[in-house]
C-alpha cells in the first residue's frame, strides 16, 4: 500500500529557527504531503505566530497548510470569527484541538467552548476539521469508552479525520483502530509518528500524556542518546513502526517533525515514498 504523509511544524522563535524551518519545509514538500500543519502555542500573539508561519510555508509552494486551532483561544464568537478569517484566506483544513494546560504537557479540560463546538464551527465555515485521538486513552478521560464517546461526538459534529497522540508500538494503534471502528467511528484515523531524536524530552512528554513504552525500547533510546546515535535510532524505530502499520492497512502517517527534515525524510524514503526533485542536504 503506497504511503501518504503529512507533517507538523511549529512557529519559529528566532531568525535561525526560521531558516531551519524553511529548510525543513523545502525538503519535505518534495514528498508531496497531504498537508502541512502548523501548531498554535499558548499566550499572546500565538495566532499571529501561526498565521505568519502559514504564510511563510505557503510562499515556499508547499502543500495545503492546516492551522491548529484550540478551544482555549477564545469564546465561541471569537472562534467562529477565526474560522471565517481562515476560510477567506484559503484554508481548507484545520486541526481542532482542546489546547495545552497552563504549563503545557497534557491538554487542559476545556468545556466552554468545547472541541465539539469548535469542530462544528469549522465545518460551518467549510473547513474540514481534523481532531486529536488518544490510542491509549486520554489521561483525563473517565474511561476508555468515554474517550471513544468523545471522539465519536467530534465525528458527528463534522470531523473528517483524527490524528493520534504519538505511541511506540504498532499494536497500540491497531487495537485502538479496532475499538474505534466497533464504536461507530468511521473517519480516517491517522497515526501520529514522533521520531525520538531527543529522548529526555520525549520521556517527559510520554509521562505527561500517558504514553507507554517498553523498558527495553526506553533503554534503547537512552543508550542511543548517550552514544550520539539518536537520529539513527529514531529513523530505524519510526520506519519499522510505519512499515508494520502499512502492512496492516494504514496508508497515511502524520510525522511530528520538530522543524527538522533529515529524520522525517529518511523515514519517508525508507517507506518507499517518491521524491519530486533531487534530494539535497537537509537540516
Residue found under cell 546515535 = 229
> Which residues have C-beta within 8 Å of that of residue 242, sequence separation ≥ 6?
3, 191, 193, 250, 253, 267, 270, 271
To the query of whether residue 8 is one of the catalytic residues in this protein, the response is yes
Cα radius of gyration rounded to whole Å, the chain: 18
- Distance between CA atoms of residues 131 and 215, nearest Å: 30
CA separation for the pair 168, 212 (Å, rounded): 7
- Sheet with 93-97, side-by-side order of all strands: 188-190, 161-164, 128-133, 93-97, 65-70, 36-38, 4-9, 252-256, 192-193
Q: Report whether 125 contacts 131 (CB < 8 A).
A: no
Positions marked catalytic: 8
Amino acid at each position: 500500500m503506497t504511503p501518504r504523509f503529512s507533517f507538523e511544524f511549529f512557529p519559529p522563535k528566532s531568525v535561525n529557527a526560521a531558516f531551519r524551518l524553511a529548510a525543513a519545509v523545502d525538503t519535505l514538500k518534495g514528498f508531496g504531503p497531504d498537508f502541512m500543519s502548523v501548531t498554535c502555542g499558548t499566550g499572546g500573539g500565538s495566532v499571529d505566530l501561526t498565521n505568519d508561519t502559514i504564510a511563510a510555508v505557503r510562499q515556499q509552494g508547499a502543500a495545503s497548510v492546516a492551522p491548529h486551532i484550540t478551544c482555549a483561544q477564545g469564546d465561541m464568537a471569537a472562534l467562529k470569527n477565526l474560522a471565517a478569517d481562515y476560510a477567506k484566506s484559503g484554508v481548507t483544513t484545520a486541526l481542532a484541538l482542546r489546547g495545552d494546560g497552563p504549563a503545557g504537557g497534557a491538554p487542559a479540560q476545556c468545556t466552554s467552548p468545547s472541541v465539539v463546538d469548535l469542530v462544528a464551527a469549522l465545518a460551518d465555515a467549510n473547513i474540514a476539521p481534523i481532531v486529536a485521538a488518544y490510542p491509549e486513552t486520554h489521561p483525563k478521560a473517565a474511561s476508555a469508552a468515554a474517550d471513544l464517546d468523545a471522539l465519536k461526538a467530534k465525528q458527528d459534529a463534522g470531523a473528517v479525520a483524527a490524528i493520534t497522540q504519538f505511541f511506540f508500538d504498532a499494536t497500540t494503534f491497531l487495537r485502538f483502530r479496532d475499538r474505534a471502528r466497533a464504536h461507530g467511528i468511521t473517519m480516517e484515523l491517522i497515526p501520529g509518528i514522533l521520531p525520538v531524536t531527543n529522548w529526555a524530552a520525549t520521556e517527559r512528554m510520554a509521562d505527561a500524556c500517558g504514553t507507554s513504552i517498553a523498558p527495553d525500547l526506553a533503554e534503547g533510546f537512552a543508550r542511543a542518546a548517550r552514544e550520539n546515535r539518536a537520529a539513527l535510532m529514531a529513523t530505524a524505530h519510526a520506519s519499522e513502526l510505519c512499515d508494520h502499520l502499512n502492512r496492516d492497512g494504514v496508508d497515511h502517517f502524520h510525522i511530528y517533525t520538530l522543524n527538522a527534515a533529515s529524520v522525517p525524510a529518511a523515514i519517508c524514503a525508507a517507506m518507499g515514498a517518491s521524491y519530486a526533485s533531487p534530494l539535497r542536504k537537509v537540516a
